[in-house]
Amino acid sequence: MLNLPILRWGQPYTSLEQDEVVHFLTGKPLARVSQANTGLLSRDMRHAERARRMLTEIPIGDLINMMKKAGDLYLSGTLAMGDGEQSPDDFARQQSASTGLPEHMCKANMSKNHFVLNNMDQILDALTRGLPLNILTQGYGIEERGVVVSYQAQCPVLGLVLPSNSPGVHTLWLPVIPMQIGLLLKPGPQEPWTPYRMAAAFYEAGVPREAIAIYPGGADVGAEVVRRANRCMIFGGTPTVERYKGDSRVQVHGPGFSKILLGDDVVDQWEKYIDIMADSIFLNSGRGCINCSGIWASRHTKKIAQALAEKLGPIEAKPPEDPQASIAAFTVPGAARAIWNSIDMRLHEPGVTHMTAPFGHRLVELERCGYLRPTIIHCDSPDRALSNTEYMYPFATVVECPQEQMLGKIGPTLVCSAITEDQQWRRQLMEARHIDRLNLGALPTIRLNWLQPHEGNIVEFLFRPRAFQTAV
């Protein structure tokens, strides 16, 4: 069993209070993780400015090269992990064992992180809109039109309160170090693996140890990270989103309520798009905020729901080491049953039909965990309680709604794939401010373009453009 210390700006520290990370099926301990407290974090924040100062002494081009080396080490190397070491296969097994995600999905997420690190130069060029990167270091410079521009870092370090449910979210913070901003990480209790492995890869690639801190702990430590860091990225449910709404210091990543909208001009050919709908709902076990939780159309909705139910409904839960496993477990005891009870109580509303019911029970309970099999619900109106809901597994509602009412009914939507050639409606979709990422055409909601920002541009979050003049 590994012992993972607190990393106090690179310095390992073993605390008296420790938490065990265990295998979700067997209960076997995988790691013992030292727990930080708010007092320790508060005291150590006096070193945050040092993280930024040390990174600005390294040219951004050199940091980008370190990211590429770190990406290769993360994907393929055997790295130091607490008081032991960890191979790539160890990492996938351990991450799967604590999060419930099938092992092959853990390896796929490793490849995503590697891709981002290996293409960091292109990604930063896209995120900065081609800004000369030395401007981020010295605070001002001349852009291509010959105009002096200035960008001011809003924090020495970015605080991150990370989740346990989806290892794929780590791609969001990988560009931070090459922008010469330090990292203050609070890992999810079941997923310490990525932060520690990524830190080990960064260190071995040459990133200063003083630039990265990892403080495992409870909810109070997460709240202290938000309080102490001037810029913070957190992950949570709708209550978390509401709590920090309007706080410019905090970028909240919550439920996506991502959707596919079928226009009236294409809905009669709905069969052509079933695979796109199914993949959007199902891939990565439906755990991402970019997974589709709603299909909206003006007609044929019962047929669409039936076709999706026939495609996804028979899928069974399999052990995490099975290469065919496609559903992640809920590792917190009772969580799967609580989610299913929440759904089940709403299935009795008139106009709501559980389309996957003929394919067996959705809830599968084991001794220490539970699974929820893919679930498709049909709603005959956007007014049904389940019509705009999201759960952390392959769950989607197919909602019947006139096209002219959709934009007024869908609510906040992270990714909207609108399949239509109706130019007037496309214009309305472009103007819809409650849609974040917009896909026009037959594109799955889960397709990401790494050269475009996801849920807000991290450069604009960390740096403020300002007026600047110099007499020199």
Domain boundaries, the chain: 2-254, 258-440
Give the per-residue pLDDT at 53.
96
Domains 2-254 and 258-440 share a fold: no
Q: Could you state, in chain order, the average pLDDT of each consecutive group of 10 residues for the chain (472 residues)? A: 95 95 94 96 96 96 97 97 96 95 94 94 90 91 82 96 81 94 95 96 97 96 93 86 85 90 97 97 92 97 98 96 94 94 96 97 94 98 96 96 97 96 97 95 89 74 89 70
Read off the pTM: 0.92
Hey, CA dihedral for 119, 211, 153, 61, is it positive or negative?
A: negative
Q: Any idea which fold 258-440 has?
A: Aldehyde Dehydrogenase; Chain A, domain 2 (3.40.309)
Query: 11 and 209 in contact (C-beta within 8 Å)?
Result: yes
Give the per-residue pLDDT at 302.
97
Give the per-residue pLDDT at 454.
63
Return the bridge partners of 415, or none. Answer: 437
Give the per-residue pLDDT at 324.
94
Give the per-residue pLDDT at 449.
77
Q: Any idea which fold 2-254 has?
A: Aldehyde Dehydrogenase; Chain A, domain 1 (3.40.605)
